[in-house]
Amino acid sequence: MVKKKIFVIGGDMRQYYLAMKLFDKGYDIACYGMKRLEEEKNVEVPETLALGMVDNGVILLPVPVLQDNLQIKSTEKKILLKELEDSIRKGQIVFGGNLPKSLIQVCKEKEAICVDYMNLDEVTVENAQVTAEGAILEAALLGNIRMQNSNCLVIGFGKCGEALAQKLSAWGAVVTIMARSKEARSKAEAYGYYTRDMFGKERELKTDKEKEQEKEIAKRIKYQFVFNTVPAMVLDKKAVDIILTDRGKEEYPIIVDIASLPGGVDFEYCREKEVKAEIHQGIPGKYAPKTAGVILAKAVLNRIENSSCTNK
């Protein structure tokens, strides 16, 4: 039986634990641009990226793949995306988070397969739970009050928004979900959360139930914590001013943005208004790299063990 060979490129400690899990499953591992993994005695370290690409059929890129528009995420080496794209060959299977469009196109042209972790439910659902835990921790570190009984606004009700709301509610926080879609608001209401439309776009009240809900929102509008999960400018100057008006003379709310770059908060305006606001990305890699690495390993194994796109 021919051993399957895997090439790990760049990344953070998630890549390390991902590779170690695959090694435990009997896969040969090669690595480039991740010192902690290169130090493992059973890991092959090619002299160049191109050499590593020749001898391995499964390529594991970081989450996210890029640290800027030109380079693959790595703290150890300068790894150009173009060099990787030039080295892709037919039959390889390439995994990564937020795969750049140019890489997807190259894989298509060269008859390689690419798999974006961010399109896999088994990854995004589990990552959302880890991300929510880290986001709440970041908020707690910025604040000087407890989460229990605090008023929290969660902007967006996708996977991360749902996970945040569930964990905040479990801690005893009062949770309001802000979402543009009526379906998302209805879903949030079904879970027992307060809801509201996006800042400046509050819906016209048509029923007694909506009017009563608006009264409840008004009572609880002084948010201590605001979590944004929407990768669009939702907390612009106007929205920040609304929060400040709502808060009156009390301490400003703490804003934690976990949306994809460039985020959804006008951070410059927040600094001007002395609002505590921070963006935090890659939370799973920061707070739970082992858990995150195992999540990725399961996704990789699910695919390569049922695929012919490994080395022969």
Name which of 58, 13, 52 is nearest 35 in CA terms: 13
Burial class (CB in 10 A: 0-12, 13-18, 19+), 232: middle
The whole-number pLDDT of residue 84 equals 96
Rounded to whole angstroms, how far apart are CA atoms 39 and 120?
Answer: 30
The whole-number pLDDT of residue 15 equals 95
Handedness of CA 3, 9, 11, 12 (dihedral sign): positive
pLDDT digits (tens, 9 = 90+) for 52-100: 999 889 999 999 999 888 999 998 889 999 999 999 999 999 999 999 9
| This model's pTM is above 0.75 | yes
pLDDT digits (tens, 9 = 90+) for 119-176: 999 999 999 999 999 999 999 998 888 899 999 999 999 999 999 999 999 999 999 9
DSSP strand pairing (93-96 vs 225-228): unpaired
| CB burial string 43-52: b at 16+ within 10 A, e below | bbebeebeeb
Domains in the chain with CATH codes:
5-122+288-304 (3.40.50.720), 144-275 (3.40.50.720)
